[in-house]
Amino acid sequence: MATAMYLEHYLDSIENLPCELQRNFQLMRELDQRTEVTCPH
C-alpha cells in the first residue's frame, strides 16, 4: 500500500507539531485505515 507508506512518512515529518494537531492527524489516519478495510480498491 503506497498510500499507507506515504502516510507513515508524512506522520513522521509532523511529529514536532503541537499535540492537538498531532492528535487530529492521527485521527485522520485511523479513519483512512478504516476506509481501506471497508472499501478496498
> pLDDT tens-digit profile of 20-30?
888 898 999 89
Given a cut of 70, the residues of the chain with pLDDT beneath it are 1, 41
Contact between 15 and 22 under an 8 Å Cβ cutoff? The reply is yes
- Tell me how far apart the 2 most distant CA atoms of the chain are, in Å: 33
Q: Which residue type sits at 18?
A: P
Tell whether pTM > 0.85: no
